[in-house]
Structure 1
Amino acid sequence: MDIKVRNGDSLWYYSNLFNVPLDLIVDSNLDADPSSLQIGQTIRIPGYQTSRYQVQSGDTFWKIASERRISLDSIALLNPSVNPRKLQVGQTIVIPVQVTYRVVDGNRPYDFNILTNDLNELYELYPFIRRQTIGNSVMGKDLDEIQIGRGGKIVHWNGSFHANEWITSAVIMQFLNEYLLALTNKETIRGLEMNPFYNQVTLSIVPMVNPDGVNLVLNGPPEGNFGEEASRINSGSTDFSGWKANIRGVDLNNQYPAKWEVDAARKPTEPSPRDFPGYQPLTEPETVAMAELARDRNFEKMLAFHTQGEVIFWGYEGLEPPRSMTIVNEFGRVSGYEPIRYVDSFSGYKDWFIQEFRQPGFTVELGEGVNPLPLDQFDEIYQETIGIFLASLYM
């Protein structure tokens, strides 16, 4: 919601007027000098929308504010040209409305278009979000990183490295919306205050690493050369539900130089719906973007969300730090998932992250069954995962 500065206004005053934490207002208006606001300057208030109201007989600003449990001055602020003593029946005024509901519905086939629409809507409502394109997919789709918070501890989540595991993006985005609601409404999630995390943690999220592959699984092959080649790789079948790779048939989670040669020797040797590690490490734009992001951000911990198995892989060649065990045990406690230290599989993002940075890295396998997991599991998976999201912030 946009407002215009009046004489004597301050960001601190807006924080009290709308009951929104001052830090969120400051970070929503990085081009504004909090110590010297200019009259007429536009200020964005996070977590609010406006609605139009037609004045009824007997209405006053006080009556309208009282019925909606909002401050009288918030109405005056949004209607500077309206004389509150001379309201006319049928006159239209603008009312501030605090957003208390999710705009993200993760419980649906969650493709790149839905993700993009949700990100745009969240950014409009919560302008303290920092959104950056870190690279592009093979087909040119933006790979967006979302950052929230001011803290020096940078925690990273990502989803949909594998195309038919798109439900991970939906789970991440729904929780992101819950987190934003809790911040702006000063609410708790499972009894935990969220606002302290804003100053303690910077949350980095890449919700969909493999957008071309996700769209392929959900919507079928695109027109043109990429779709034709994907159909050829899929042996002409129109069923892409088993497809894990990117649009070129490269498995993005087998693309990292962490014993890549070991995996390459026992995996497919040409493009395939799954498991082909590429002809060498880091050939795909999606994997390069994620490697560069890790180098740039210096994550304190990293969580890669996959499906399925209800397990959490947390070790790599003994290079993981001792505190990884403490963290994964807490993840297991709050989710019911089983921590597994080592597995005979290499060259994944988690493996490479631990190898390169010696920081805690985790592959979290959500749900049980055959990928892609059905949406009738979404609510259960989401409830199990909330605890992991929260624990990654406080551990």
Structure 2
Amino acid sequence: MKVKVRSGDSLWYYSQLFMVPVILIADSNPGVNPKSLQIGQEIDIPGFTLQNYTIRQGDTFWKLSTSRNLSADALLLVNQTLNPNSLPIGTVIKLPRRVISPIVSGRRSYDYHALTADISMLADIYPFIKVSTIGKSVLGKPIQEIRLGKGNKKVQINASFHANEWITTPILMALLNSFLLSITNVRPIRGVSTMPLYNSVDLSIVPMVNPDGVDLVLNGPPPEVREEVIAINRGSTDFTGWKANIRGVDLNKQYPAKWDFEKERSEQNAPAPRDYLGVAPLTEPEAIAMAELARNNQFDRMLAFHTQGAEFYWGYEGLEPPESQVIALEFERVSGYKAVQYIDSFAGYKDWFIQEFRRPGFTIELGRGINPLPLSQYDEIYEEVLGIFLASLYM
């Protein structure tokens, strides 16, 4: 929601007027000097939208503001050209509406279009988040990163490395949405106060690493590569078992962490719906983008959301730091998921992250069953992983 500065206004006053932490207002307006606001200057207020309202018999600014738990001056601020003492019936005014419910609707086939629409809405309501493109998929779709927080501890969380594990994307977006609602409305999550987490953590979220693959699973092959992907899929138009990117390369087997060993024992020697490592490490643009993101940011920890198994993996070749076990025990406690230190699988993003940086990395296997997991598990998975999401920030 945008408002225009009046004489005597300040960011602190807007914070009191709308009951939003002043740091969030400041972060929503990075180019604004809070000590010298200019009359008429536009300021973003996070956590609110504006809605049109048509004046009816008996309406007053006082009644309208009271019914919405706002001061009359909040209405005056967004309706500066109106005379509050003269509100003719039929006049259309703007009413601030506090956002108290989630925007993300994840219980649906959540393709790249759904993701980008939700990112756009969240960025509009919560302008203190920063959205950037870290790379592009094979078909040119932007791979988007969402960034927020003021702290020094850098946490990276990603989802949908694997195409038919797309349910991880709406789950991660719903977790982000809950966090945004919590900090703007100063409302704890499971008893955890979240503003201290915002102030102590620099959070990076890449909600869909493999947008081409997700769209293939959910919508079928795009015309420009239809014949190629059907051939890779052994002539079938059923893509529910597809994990790879659009070129048939498994993005989570693309990293130089025992890649040669994994390649030698792999049964896949050509592009396939799953498990093909490619001709060399880091040949695919999506995998390259995630490697560059990690190298450029030096994250303190990383979580990769996958499905399924209700367990998570936290070690690699003994290179994980002692801190990893402490975090793993907390993840296990808050989620009920089983902590597994080592598995006989290599060349994954988590493996490479631990090897490259000697910092905690985790592959979180959400839910139970056969991929793609049904949306009927959505609510249960969200509740299970919510504790992991919070613990990744406060540990």
Q: Same fold (TM over 0.5)?
A: yes
Shift of 1:88: 1.1
Bigger CA drift: 56-65 or 180-189? 56-65
Q: Which amino acid aligns with 2:394?
A: Y
How far the C-alpha of 1:58 sits from its partner, in A, is 2.3
Query: For the residues of structure 2 that align with 1:6 and 1:158, how far apart are their CA atoms?
Result: 42
Tell me, yes or no, if structure 1 residue 330 matches structure 2 residue 354: no
Residue 42 of structure 2 corresponds to 42
The aligned runs of 1:184-263 (5 Å cut-off) are 184-224=184-224, 226-263=225-262
Corresponding position of 1:101: 101
| Partner secondary structure for residue 293 of structure 2 | helix
- Corresponding residue for residue 272 of structure 2: 272
Aligned to 1:31: 31
Residue 393 of structure 1 corresponds to 393
- In the alignment, residue 172 of structure 1 is paired with which amino acid? L
Query: 1:133: which partner in 2?
Result: 133
**Deviation at residue 85 of structure 1 after TM alignment:** 1.4
- Give 2:321's aligned residue: 321
Structure 1 CA distance for aligned equivalents of residues 8 and 194 of structure 2: 31
Higher mean C-alpha deviation, range 352-361 or range 102-111? 102-111
SS in 1 for 2:171: helix
- Structure 2 residue runs of 5 or longer lacking an equivalent are none
1:355, distance to aligned residue in structure 2 (A): 0.2
Q: 1:34 Cα deviation (Å)?
A: 0.6
1:99-127 residue CA offsets vs partner (Å, 9 max, x unmatched): 10111011111111100000000001000
What's the counterpart of residue 2 of structure 1? 2
Q: Counterpart amino acid of 1:353? A: F
1:227 Cα offset (Å): 2.3
Task: Please list, as runs of the form range in 1=range in 2, the aligned pairs for 1:376-391 lying within 5 A after superposition.
Answer: 376-391=376-391
| Letter paired with 1:253 | N
Superposed CA offset, 1:72-107 (max 9, x none): 100011111111112212111111110101110111
State the one-letter code of the partner of 1:119. I
Partner Cα distance (1:253, 1:66) in 2 = 54
Q: How does 1:291-302 map to 2 (within 5 A)?
A: 291-302=291-302
C-alpha separation in 2, matches of 1:164 and 1:153: 31
Counterparts of 2:272 and 2:129, CA distance in 1: 37
Q: What CA distance in whole angstroms lies between the structure 1 residues aligned with 2:218 and 2:239? A: 8
Query: TM-score, length-normalised on structure 1?
Result: 0.99
2-side partners of 1:361 and 1:380: how far apart?
24
Give the corresponding residue for 1:342.
342
Aligned position for 2:17? 17
1:313-369 C-alpha deviation (Å, 9 max, x unpaired): 000000000010010011011111111111111000000000000000000001111
Query: How many pairs does the alignment contain?
Result: 394
- Using the alignment, how far apart are the partners of 1:228 and 1:101 within structure 2? 43
Q: Which residue of 1 aligns with 2:78?
A: 78
Q: Secondary structure at the match of 1:388?
A: helix
**Residues of 2 paired with 1:325 and 1:91: CA distance?**
62
Stretch moving more, 53-62 or 35-44: 53-62
> Could you tell me which residue of structure 2 aligns to residue 284 of structure 1?
284
Provide the residue aligned with 1:358 in structure 2.
Answer: 358
Q: Which residues of 2 match residues 173-184 of structure 1 at below 5 A?
A: 173-184=173-184
Amino acid at match of 1:39: I
The answer on 1:158 being equivalent to 2:154 is: no
Q: Which amino acid aligns with 1:185?
A: N
Give 1:59 deviation, angstroms: 2.0
Which residue is equivalent to 2:65? 65
Which SS does the other structure have where 1:188 is aligned? coil
Displacement of 1:63 in angstroms is 1.6
Task: Give the stretch that moved more between structures: 3-12 or 82-91.
Answer: 82-91
State the distance in 2 between where 1:353 and 1:393 align.
Answer: 18
- Give SS of 1:93's match: strand
- The equivalent residue for 2:307 is 307
Tell me how far apart the structure 1 counterparts of residues 302 and 101 of structure 2 sit (CA, whole Å). Answer: 29
Cα RMSD after superposing both structures = 0.7
Could you tell me how far apart the structure 2 residues matched to 1:17 and 1:89 are? Answer: 27
Distance apart, 1:242 and its partner CA: 0.6
Question: Match for 1:232: what amino acid?
Answer: A
CA distance in 2, matches of 1:334, 1:37: 45
Deviates further, 52-61 or 324-333 = 52-61
Query: Displacement of 1:47 after TM fit?
Result: 0.6
**What code does the residue aligned with 2:191 have?**
G
1:277-303 superposed Cα distances (whole Å, 9 cap, x missing partner): 000000000000000000111111100
- How far residue 64 of structure 1 moved from its aligned partner, in angstroms, is 1.5
Aligned partners of 2:66 and 2:211: how far apart in 1? 47
TM-score (normalised: structure 2): 0.99
Which amino acid letter does the alignment assign opposite residue 333 of structure 1? R
Shift of 1:55: 1.5
* 1:375 counterpart residue number: 375
Q: Percent identity?
A: 60
Quote the Cα distance in structure 2 between the aligned partners of 1:88 and 1:261: 76
